[in-house]
Chain A
Amino acid sequence: MGSLIQVEDLTKVYRFGEVEVHALRGVSLSIERGEFVAIMGPSGSGKSTFMNILGFLDQPTRGQYLLEGINGERLSRDELADIRNKKIGFVFQGFNLLARTSALENVELPLIYARVSASRRKELARDALSKVRLAGREHHQPSQLSGGEQQRVAIARALVNEPSIILADEPTGNLDSKTSVEIMGIFQHLNRDLGITIIMITHEPDIALYAKRDIHFKDGVVVDDRENPSHISALEEGQA
């Protein structure tokens, strides 16, 4: 078995009536287990399209994407949902938590669809919340939590199913810089101490510094891909 993620000549073309938009024009790369990758690039560079394909939310027009050797090309909607459920954790810019639902229940959500029993769900969700240092906040609803805390709930939700990768789309986009560092601290902790592979989109260069590898997209192709020389460690604030 090769790399965790193997991408070969990935191409995506959107059609809006007569107009064809080339979001990806042949991207090839591989990502190994345990990496922390930042994907950078201006808007329209194809990084979101790339993430959607990595997350089995979208299918490439051409090319091949293998996650742990699995090719999503010929899979049904239900099979894709299963892969997302078991192998991928999503963290979004807008948190995307269910309103009027406690932190614990939000974290339980992937487990419900994985058909985990109620008692086991509670246990796993509590565990995940303590990994993002939110133990004691289980019964707070999103509206009662700060932005940083909401994003940590979302991260707990992403890791509760023990996925192969966590995909984070602008995870700090809605947060102030202090909280952003806090979130990066969480990511680094998960990556370094728990060995979780993280792929993160960001357009903030100072956020990308927390990753170990930077990939730059422009006009649907990778223009730069290198180890982060000035990789920094977040001051892990708010540690219990």
Chain B
Amino acid sequence: MTRLFASLRIALRALVVNKMRSALTMLGIIIGVSAVIAMIAVGSGAKARIEEQIASMGSNLLMVMSGSSVSGGFRFGAGTTPTLTVDDAKAIQTEIPGVKYVSGSVQGVAQIVYGNQNWSTVVTGAAPEILEIRGWSLSSGRPFTQQEMDGTAKVCILGKTVAESLFGAIDPIGQVVRIRKIPFLVVGVLSPKGQTTWGQDQDDLVFVPLTTGQKRLFGMAFPGMVRTISVQALGPEQLKTVEIQITDLLRQRHRIQPNQDNDFSVRNLTEVMSSAEQSANVMSLLLGSIASISLIVGGIGIMNIMLVSVTERTREIGIRMAVGAKGRDILLQFLIESLVLSLAGGILGIGIGMVGTVILSSFTQWPTLFSTEAILLAFLFSGSVGVFFGFYPARKASLLNPIDALRYE
């Protein structure tokens, strides 16, 4: 302990004596570490945003879309032909075991009016379970009841953005809004989810009961048609089987021949998002490794300076050996010196990296996230760079012959 403390003091003195040189050597490490910190913060920020997105979309979610329509040789996008029905939704619910909730839905853009305020938004008609399926919670009020579903009641639940645009400070619960000129009673307001990664406002929407949507708002060509069916599986491991079972079930119900294409499509949104998450992971790994290269370059700087230092202080090493320093005492002294350099550089680099990241994200609006693990990792990494690149010069010093070292001019 005495020995370690003494070595530490010797090392610190040597570094303080050569202030300019120590500072420049540290600069390499500072740049490396701050780059690592900033890059990891940007990478994990993007990743966190995507994870948030997955959670806000609702977990274990499958979307069944009605098929594409063909008109004069042009194929339109999914959902342009009404091929799904409420009965399809019911069949999925009753016949497939891995399913937790199912809701058919219809959708359209509508103008909503309250007093002298009006707002255009997407209105979704869906079953009460839609809130569970899509991971919505209510900040006030209540969900629809089954009676309101059955009775095509004129009730609605507003997203946060819609509620604020129409009502401002007034409590919307119990108020009446007009959707496509039809009066609706506001029974609930959703808790906000914020923006998606691509900047879309998720809170700009209105829910009404599915039957109300079908019959009163978006007159359907055939009764019971839905545009999409949202299905929540019991768990992530059931997703794949449920997806296959839904496809089989709907092909059977729609009487599709084996050589015919589906008139619907099933999308596993979690899968889509997790591939986005994977690419974010790859991105942060890539950024991190590029930053690490600069840290290694900084380490080479340390080695360079330590070699110069060992040569310069050959005589000092000789004196120390003559009065009884063993090889490992000298080794420890120089190793501590490079360790102090790299760790001090590491701590400064972490500070500068964090400040830099905050400035960067305030300019670019990129999401950033600092994690204790990343900071700890950068600190340990800079320490090991110091030990790794300091070892060779320190060993060289420890192997000097005391007579030659004493004679060195």
On A, residues with C-beta under 8 Å from B are 52, 55, 57-58, 77-78, 81-82, 84-86, 90, 92, 96-98, 100-101, 109-110, 112-118, 157, 161
Residue contact B2 to A118, C-beta cutoff 8 Å: yes
Contact A81 B3 (CB under 8 A): no
- What is the CA–CA distance of A115 and B3 in the complex, to the nearest angstrom? 7
Which of A52, A55, A109 has its CB near the most chain B CB atoms (within 10 A)? A109
B297 to chain A: which residues have CB within 8 Å? Answer: none
The reply to whether A84 and B319 contact each other, CB–CB distance below 8 Å, is no
* A58 and B403 contact, CB distance less than 8 A: yes
Kindly list chain A residues whose C-beta atoms are within 8 Å of the C-beta of B322: 55, 57, 84, 90, 96
Contact status B13-A100, CB under 8 Å: yes
Q: Which of B13, B323, B403, B406 contacts A85 (CB 8 A)?
A: B323
With both chains docked as a complex, state the minimum distance between the C-beta of A139 and any C-beta of chain B, in angstroms: 14
The one of B315, B323, B326 in contact with A157, judged by C-beta atoms closer than 8 angstroms, is B323
A78 & B323 in contact (Cβ 8 Å cutoff): no
> What are the residues of chain B within 8 A of A81 when measuring CB–CB?
321, 324-327
Check B403–A113 contact: CB distance below 8 A.
no
B10, chain A: closest CB distance, angstroms: 8
**B320 contacts A109, C-beta separation under 8 Å:** yes
Q: Report Cα–Cα, A52/B404, bound state, in Å.
A: 11
Contact B324 A78 (CB under 8 A): no
**Which chain A residues border B5 with CB–CB below 8 Å?**
118
List CB contacts (< 8 Å) of B97-130 with chain A.
none
Chain A residues within 8 Å of B172, by CB: none
B2 and A117 contact, CB distance less than 8 A: yes
Shortest distance between the CB of A62 and any CB in chain B (Å): 19
- Bound form: Cα–Cα A62–B116 in Å: 112
Q: How many A-B residue pairs have CB under 8 A?
A: 64
Chain A to chain B contacts (Cβ below 8 Å), 18 pairs: A55-B322, A57-B322, A57-B406, A81-B325, A81-B327, A84-B322, A85-B323, A97-B319, A101-B13, A109-B319, A109-B323, A112-B2, A112-B6, A113-B326, A113-B329, A115-B3, A118-B5, A118-B6
Interface flags, B315-350, vs A, CB<8A=1, else 0: 110111111111111000000000000000000000
For B13, what are the chain A residues with a Cβ–Cβ distance below 8 Å? 100-101
| A18 CA / B381 CA spacing, docked (Å) | 50
Q: How far is the CA of A144 from the CA of B401 in the complex (A)?
A: 30
Contact B315 A84 (CB under 8 A): no
Contacts of B327 in A (CB 8 A): 77-78, 81
A57–B407 Cα distance when bound, in Å, is 12
Interchain CB contact under 8 A, A90 and B323: yes
A52 CB contacts on chain B under 8 angstroms: 403
CA distance A110 to B325 in the complex (A): 8
Pairwise interchain contact B6-A78, C-beta atoms closer than 8 A:
no
In the complex with contacts A81-B321, A115-B2, A115-B3, A96-B406 CB distance below 8 A: yes
Contact status A57-B402, CB under 8 Å: yes
Provide the residues of chain A in CB contact with B3, threshold 8 Å. 112, 115
| Additional 7 contacts, C-beta under 8 A, given A82-B324, A96-B318, A113-B326 | A55-B322, A57-B403, A81-B324, A85-B323, A96-B322, A114-B324, A118-B6
* Across-interface contacts of A90 in B (CB, < 8 A): 322-323
Chain B 1-30, CB within 8 Å of chain A: the 1/0 string?
011011000000100010000000000000
Q: How far is the CA of A226 from the CA of B116 in the complex (A)?
A: 124
Q: Could you tell me if A86 and B323 are in contact, using CB atoms closer than 8 angstroms?
A: no
Asked whether, in the complex, the Cβ of A84 is within 8 Å of the Cβ of B326, the reply is: no
User: A109–B403 Cα gap in the complex (Å)?
Assistant: 18
Specify which chain A residues have a CB less than 8 angstroms from the CB of B402 in the assembled complex. 57
Alpha-carbon separation in the docked complex, A85 to B319 (Å):
11
Instruction: Give the distance in Å from the alpha carbon of A84 to the alpha carbon of B324 in the complex.
Output: 5
Set of chain B residues within 8 Å of A112, measured between Cβ atoms: 2-3, 6
Q: Which residue of A lies closest to B10 (CB)?
A: A112
- Assuming the contacts A101-B13, A112-B3, A113-B320, asked whether A96 and B315 have C-beta atoms less than 8 A apart, the reply is yes
In B374-409, which residues have CB < 8 Å from any A CB?
A: 402-403, 406
Task: For A77, give the chain B residue with the smallest CB separation.
Answer: B327
Smallest CB–CB gap between A18 and chain B, Å? Answer: 21
* Nearest 5 A/B pairs, CB to CB: A85-B324, A113-B324, A110-B323, A81-B326, A78-B326
B319 nearest in chain A by CB position: A96
On whether the beta carbons of B2 and A110 are closer than 8 Å, the reply is no
A201 to B322, CA, bound (A): 17
Contacts of A115 in B (CB 8 A): 2-3
A113 with B323: CB separation less than 8 A: yes
Q: Do the beta carbons of B2 and A98 come within 8 Å of each other?
A: no
Chain B residues near A84 (CB, 8 Å)? Answer: 321-324
How near does chain B come to A199, taking the closest CB pair, in angstroms? Answer: 15
Q: Nearest-CB distance from B337 to chain A (Å)?
A: 15
Distance, CA A172 to CA B2, complexed state (A): 35
Which chain B residue lies CB-closest to A89? B323
Task: Identify the closest chain A residue to B321 (Cβ).
Answer: A81
| Whole-angstrom distance between the Cβ of B20 and the nearest chain A Cβ | 15
Enumerate chain A residues within 8 angstroms of B320, measured Cβ to Cβ.
109, 113
B401: min CB distance to chain A, Å = 9
A58: min CB distance to chain B, Å: 6
Interface centre among B324, B329, B406 (most CB of A within 10 A): B324
Given contacts A57-B403, A115-B3, contact A98 B324 (CB under 8 A): no
Residue in B319, B325, B329 with the greatest tally of chain A CB atoms within 10 Å? B319
Minimum distance in angstroms from B168 CB to a CB of chain A: 72
A81 and B323 CA atoms in complex are apart in Å by 8
